[in-house]
Amino acid sequence: MKRRDFLQMAALGAGAIMMPGTLLGNPVPLDTPYSRLDARLNKQLADTALNAARGKGASYADVRIGRYLNQYVFTREDKVQNIVNAESFGVGIRVIANGTWGFAATDNVSKEGIAKAAEEAVAIAKANARIQTEPVKLVPVPGYGEKSWETPIERNAFEVPISEKVDLLLSANAAAMAQGANFVNNSLFMVNEQKYFASTDGSYLDQNIHRIWPTFNVTAVDAASGKFKTRGSLSAPMGMGYEYLDGRASSKIEGPAGLVLYGNHYDMKEDAVAAARQAKEMLTAKSVKPGKYDLVLEPNHLGLTIHESVGHPLELDRVLGYEANYAGTSFATLDKWKNKDFQYGSDIVNIFADKVQPHSLGAVGWDDEGVKSKQWDLIKNGKLVNYQAIRDQAHIINESESHGCCYADSWNSVQFQRMPNVSLAPGKEKYSVNDMIKDVEDGIYILGRGSYSIDQQRYNFQFGGTLFYEIKNGAVTGMINDVAYQSNTQEFWNSCNKICDKEDYRLFGTFFDGKGQPSQVSAVSHGSSTTRFNGVNVINTARNI
Amino acid sequence: MAILSKEEARQILEKVLSFASADETIVTLNGGNGGNIRYARNTVSTAGKQENTSLAVQSSYGKRSGTSTINEFDDASLQKVVKRAEEVARLAPENPEFMPALKPQQYQESKTFYQSTADIRPEDRAKVAESSIVPASASDIVAAGFLEDNAGFSSMMNSNGLFAYSQDSGLDFTVTMRSTDGTGSGWVTRDFNDFSKLNAAEASQIAIEKALQSRNPKAIEPGKYTVILEPAAAVDLLQNMLYNMDARDADEGRSFLSKQGGATKKGEKIVDERVQIYSDPFHRDVPFRTWSGDGLPQKKTSWIENGVVKNMFYDRYWAQKKGAEPVPSPSNFVMDGGNASLEDMIKDTRRGILVTRLWYIRTVDPQTLLYTGLTRDGTFYIENGKIKHPVKNFRFNESPIIMLNNLEAMGRPQRVDGNMVPPLKIRDFTFTSLSDAI
């Protein structure tokens, strides 16, 4: 974390709202009525940008007029620490001039402000063209005319009264405290991206995108031993409205060891109660014996492993070296794809990318360069078959169209290739989690996200989790602690030997996938069913200081 | 909007307060301009520029607060923003941890703004990129780098008469150099307030040499090794330790500074007695704004003195509850070192590993501050005082507390990410596996 981000995050948690900054946008009043940008006005402004760019010599231009609404509710125990309503509104203009990209953004959303920014973008492109050795080549995209798309939601979270949100969080906190938790930090994040995109290709696309993420940490402290343990929520961020929090029974999944897991709807209070009990249990659970284990990985855990070991290495900009100075490059080099025989995983491993899955964080109508969203294969029967590519990269892998996974996290960030949803297809045969555990002699069942770290070419990784259960001779025997597994991507995915069926398929997600310089965040989901990996190296992470 | 002067900012803030009728009002006004250039594959990839100014008003009635912002500055807009903040404050729930606005504070000046950085043009950024790309191409190396600069102002005023203002400029430059055969990689980072201090060509050359020297690394067994962490390798673990020195977490029993029985480790020796770490916003090499976000003065503050926990940071609420002085969280940090150069430290090492940087660092256990991550962009085996050969990258699992207890030697501090950090020689640093990543 950079110092600037730390200071801003610290300010939010402490209840100091007086920090307008770039991390979250500007705070706005709680009573701001929910409203949409006017598409007609947007079209006029967009045309101003496109004409100004063309007038200065741009061969291509696109403009994004963005209004980004964020609402955050921060609570701890019986207190509301902060409620932030943030709005960020402005325009980003991207151009190609002399074969080179240029970008400028402004919060002066007037015809004059926009025209000036468009001219600046062209000036930047021209200044850099002098040292450009690889002129930009775009694959074609149809002009879609004037179209719109909205996240299909049942209940707009921005229209739910603040008091209802506060009541939900505080009641979950109280339930956890009543079960003996010492501390609860519980937050709710809601995002609404109102984006108007237009380009010189003839698209005028108006999109209204919603995301929601409830998340808590329940902590148990044993003052006598000085130990503390924290159990995070088993929720997932989703591309949904407030209906995600209705906890409807049809979305609950009965897990092993009396656990309750959640699909497309989440019961916060029930999970908080379980969290308090489990945090206390963690204080005395036995420490893992290091060695090789069969790992049974639950979807809300496995999603992060998919993200890091499959999602990132198959980003074409990483493969080509564009991210070499920050996120890194990739072991999944072009020769491995060209040869069509790189065994990324065992032959039951089928991994697909998409920007269309219902309820997912990645779902949109069009990406941030006006390409219609779709689904495509990355790994087929264990073999590497494709990457994630956008308009200026698709020609490199002989594709005639972009995959539609270009994204910018704000009007003032330049769009670039970002990870779509990347998901592991469920097993074809009927097979439940209990069936899977029955087949394990010496293993660990891991749930939820924990510590995660992977190298810059995505070979070597280490993952923790939220909860760990020992499996002995086909049965869960109890909770264990201090577990982390270390492996190598190709070795790990080739040790995948069983995947539960589609009944167990659900989405993991993250709001804060980081990439790029200046660093941008992106929200992405990863679907999977519970999956088993045989003989994975587990280390013990307990230390004394 | 341009970077406002102290008087221009004061006038706007006073005008906003003149429209207020709440019990208390706090107003902040910040703005600035920023630009960047990014390059990879020995060519420029993206570049951009942003400007933004924002005004925020926080109004309070008793323990109820509301906030509103705006980025228009005519009288009607300023009146509107105050009215909206006051409306929200009346609707908001009471915050039992609400703290009243501060009385006027005295702030000392720190030179954080340089016109040279505010004056950077697109052509200057292109030249920085060129100073990496040209020598890289000549050495059969591929450059990927990034320069980001910003210049702006921050100001704050409240209804008790507090007024704070500062200007700030800064730049971050990083470049990765990779050999064309993909077997070697080098990296360098530089950050300054003053653009005229950046010598991108000299920095790029260091990364090129590391890329060339690190080609075809040999695998050696993971395990416990003596390491020399360059300042860029040491900074993150030290920074993570400091960010976790929150008094409330320690008092609540959920920090590495919590003790059995409910007490904290304040006043106890937790690391080697040679370790001195403090924050200093007036430090010539790492100046920082002299007031924190809530208006408290940022002072020189010692965190670790002779290996002993000297201070933890307290927000105003927790300080009042505990009868302590509020201490803002660290703005920057300075770790004292010695006079030895990195070369001297290598000469004094019989067997060890030289680490350029650590990467993808994540918490494994907050109780012990155990972190994991990997070495990257130049890892070398040292034998009998000399770099013998490059080695494959390692994954580590280590705590900065254990690391600073295993301190062997410290070299001359350098600026890294706004902090002063010496190269550190550490014994028994724990590497747990090998990585094939270059």
Q: Between the CA of residue A379 and those of A375, A402, B137, B300, B436, what are the distances in Å?
A: 13, 18, 35, 55, 22
Cis preceding linkage at B390, omega within 30: no
Same domain, B378 and B319: yes
Q: Tokens for A296, please give them.
A: 């049974």
The answer to whether residue B1 sits within a structural domain is no
pLDDT, tens digit (0-9, with 9 covering 90-100), for B32-72: 999 999 999 999 998 888 877 889 999 999 999 888 877 77
Nearest to A445 by CA among A496, A473, A479, A494: A479
Q: Tokens for B424, please give them.
A: 């550190």
Place of tokens 């070495």: B375
Q: Which residue of B has its CA nearest to A415?
A: B46
The answer to whether residue B339 sits within a structural domain is yes
Same domain, B364 and B246: yes
Same domain, B348 and B278: yes
User: What total number of domains does chain B contain?
Assistant: 2
Contact A456 B359 (CB under 8 A): yes
What does pTM read for this prediction? 0.94
The residues that bridge with B36 in the sheet, in sequence order, are: B48, B148
Domain at A3-284, CATH class = alpha beta
- Out of B211, B239, B271, a domain closes at B211
Burial A16-47 (b: 16+ CB within 10 A, else e): bbbbbbbebbbbbbbeeeeeebeeeebbebbe
State the Cα–Cα distance between residues B176 and B143, nearest whole angstrom: 6
Q: What pLDDT, on the 0 to 100 scale, is given for residue A2? A: 46
pLDDT, tens digit (0-9, with 9 covering 90-100), for A244-289: 999 999 999 999 989 999 999 999 999 999 999 999 999 999 999 9
Return the amino acid letter for A416.
F
Contact B43 A133 (CB under 8 A): yes
Same domain, B44 and B96: yes
Contact B361 A453 (CB under 8 A): yes
Q: In Å, how far is A251's CA from the nearest CA of chain B?
A: 31
Of A452, A537, A545, the CB nearest to B368: A545
Of B69, B253, B432, the CB nearest to A228: B253
Q: Spell out the per-residue pLDDT of chain A, length 545, in tens.
A: 444 444 444 344 333 333 333 334 444 544 444 556 688 899 999 999 999 999 999 999 999 999 988 888 999 999 888 777 777 889 999 999 999 999 999 988 899 999 999 999 999 999 999 889 899 999 999 999 999 999 999 999 999 988 899 999 999 999 999 999 999 999 999 999 999 999 999 999 999 999 999 999 999 999 999 999 999 999 999 999 999 999 999 999 999 989 999 999 999 999 999 999 999 999 999 999 999 999 999 999 999 999 999 999 999 999 999 999 999 999 999 999 999 999 999 999 999 999 999 999 999 999 999 999 999 999 999 999 999 999 999 999 999 999 999 999 999 999 999 999 999 999 999 999 999 999 999 999 999 999 999 999 999 999 999 999 999 999 999 999 999 999 999 999 999 999 999 999 999 999 999 999 999 999 999 999 999 999 999 999 999 99
- DSSP string of A50-105, one letter each residue: HHHHHHTT-SEEEEEEEEEEEEEEEEETTEEEEEEEEEEEEEEEEEEETTEEEEEE
Q: What pLDDT, on the 0 to 100 scale, is given for residue A507? A: 98
Contact B418 A6 (CB under 8 A): no
Mean pLDDT, rounded, of chain A: 92
Q: Which residues of B touch A227 (CB under 8 A)?
A: 367
- Out of B189, B211, B233, a domain closes at B211
- Out of B211, B241, B262, a domain closes at B211
Place of tokens 């900009």: A317
Contact A543 B365 (CB under 8 A): yes
Q: Which of B158, B289, B397, B406 to mutate to test the interface with A (most CBs of A within 10 A)?
A: B397
Residues recorded for chain A: 545
Give the single-character DSSP code of A264. S
Q: What pLDDT, on the 0 to 100 scale, is given for residue B87? A: 85
Q: What pLDDT, on the 0 to 100 scale, is given for residue A35? A: 59
pLDDT, tens digit (0-9, with 9 covering 90-100), for B116-147: 999 999 999 999 999 999 999 999 999 999 99
How many pairs of residues across A and B have Cβ atoms under 8 Å apart?
293
Q: Which residues of B touch A328 (CB under 8 A)?
A: 359, 376, 437
State the Cα–Cα distance between residues A33 and A370, nearest whole angstrom: 29
Quickly state the pLDDT bin for B108 (edges 50, 70, 90). very high
Contact A459 B435 (CB under 8 A): yes
Q: What pLDDT, on the 0 to 100 scale, is given for residue B46? A: 87
Phi, psi of A216 (to 5 degrees): -135, 160
Q: Which residue of B has its CA nearest to A120?
A: B49
Q: In Å, how far is A150's CA from the nearest CA of chain B?
A: 28
Q: In Å, how far is B209's CA from the nearest CA of chain A?
A: 16
Same domain, B400 and B320: yes
State the Cα–Cα distance between residues A212 and A190, nearest whole angstrom: 5
SS3 content of chain A, % helix, strand, coil (to 5): 25, 35, 40
Q: Which residue of A has its CA nearest to B405?
A: A545
Contact A460 B293 (CB under 8 A): no
Residues 6+ apart with CB under 8 A from A167: none
Contact A460 B433 (CB under 8 A): yes
Question: Which residues of chain A form CATH 3.30.2290.10?
Answer: 3-284
Residues 6+ apart with CB under 8 A from B424: B228, B229, B234, B403, B407, B409, B410, B411
Of A18, A102, A517, the CB nearest to B58: A18
State the Cα–Cα distance between residues A348 and A427, nearest whole angstrom: 8
Contact A102 B48 (CB under 8 A): yes
Same domain, B294 and B154: no
Q: Which residue of B has its CA nearest to A163?
A: B93
Q: Tokens for B275, please give them.
A: 């370790």
Structural domain boundaries, residue B121: 6-211
Burial B42-81 (b: 16+ CB within 10 A, else e): bbbbbbbbbbbbbbbbbbbbeebbbbbbbbebeeeebeeb
Of A102, A453, A542, the CB nearest to B373: A453
Q: What's the complex ipTM?
A: 0.93
Helix (H, G, I), strand (E, B) or coil at B234: helix
Q: In Å, how far is B10's CA from the nearest CA of chain A?
A: 17
Same domain, B178 and B256: no
State the Cα–Cα distance between residues A316 and A386, nearest whole angstrom: 9
Q: Which residues of A touch B329 (CB under 8 A)?
A: 6-7, 10
Q: Which residues of A touch B88 (CB under 8 A)?
A: 29-31
Contact of B110 with B287, CB cutoff 8 Å: yes
Three-state SS sequence of A197-216: EEECCCEEEEEEEEEEEEEE
The answer to whether residue B145 sits within a structural domain is yes
Residues 6+ apart with CB under 8 A from B206: B186, B188
Q: Is the pLDDT of residue B339 over 90?
A: yes
State the Cα–Cα distance between residues A272 and A219, nearest whole angstrom: 11
Q: What pLDDT, on the 0 to 100 scale, is given for residue A5? A: 45
Q: Which residues of A touch B243 (CB under 8 A)?
A: 1, 6
